[in-house]
Amino acid sequence: MPDGQGSPAGAARVVDLLDLGAGHLRGAVDMPRREAARLLGEVLGLEEAQVYARTDEDVSERAELSYGQLIRRRADGVPTAYLVGRREFYGRSFEVDPRALVPRPETEHVVEAALECAGAGAKVLDLGTGSGCIAITMALERPGVSIVATDLSLGALAVASANCRRHEVEGRVRLVRADLVSALRLQAFDVVVSNPPYIAVGEWHSLMPEVRDHEPPEALFAGDGLDFYRRLFAAREWSEVGQRLVLEIGSGQLDAVRELAVHGGFAVEAVVLDLAAIARVVRLRRK
225 touches ligand SAM (CB under 6 A): no
Question: Which runs of consecutive H residues, i.e. helices, occur in the chain?
Answer: 14-25, 32-44, 48-52, 61-75, 80-84, 107-117, 133-141, 154-166, 209-212, 217-220, 227-234, 254-263
In the list 79, 197, 225, 264, the residue contacting ligand SAM (rule: CB under 6 A) is 197
Count the residues of the shown chain that bind ligand SAM, applying the rule CB under 6 A.
22
Helix-then-strand count for the chain, H and E: 12, 9
152 touches ligand SAM (CB under 6 A): yes
150 touches ligand SAM (CB under 6 A): yes
DSSP structure string for 209-234: HHHHTTS-HHHHB-TTTTHHHHHHHH
107 touches ligand SAM (CB under 6 A): yes
In the list 2, 32, 41, 103, the residue contacting ligand SAM (rule: CB under 6 A) is 103
In the list 130, 225, 250, 264, the residue contacting ligand SAM (rule: CB under 6 A) is 130
101 touches ligand SAM (CB under 6 A): yes
Nearest distance from C-beta of residue 183 to ligand SAM, angstroms: 8
63 touches ligand SAM (CB under 6 A): no
279 touches ligand SAM (CB under 6 A): no
Cα 69 versus chain centre, distance? 24
Q: Which of residues 164-183 bind ligand SAM (CB under 6 A)?
A: 179-180
d(CA 24, CA 68): 10
3-state secondary structure of 57: coil
Q: Beta-carbon neighbour count of residue 37 at 10 Å?
A: 24
Nearest distance from C-beta of residue 216 to ligand SAM, angstroms: 6
250 touches ligand SAM (CB under 6 A): no
d(CA 118, CA 120): 7
Nearest distance from C-beta of residue 199 to ligand SAM, angstroms: 9
Dihedral pair phi/psi, residue 174, rounded to 5°: -95, 125
168 vs 179 by CB, closer to ligand SAM: 179
148 touches ligand SAM (CB under 6 A): no
Cβ-based neighbours of 238, under 8 Å, separated by 6 or more: 184, 264, 265, 286
80 touches ligand SAM (CB under 6 A): no
77 vs 216 by CB, closer to ligand SAM: 216
60 touches ligand SAM (CB under 6 A): no
3-state secondary structure of 62: helix
Binding-site ranges for ligand SAM (CB under 6 A): 100-101, 103, 107, 128-131, 133-134, 150-153, 156, 179-180, 195-197, 218-219
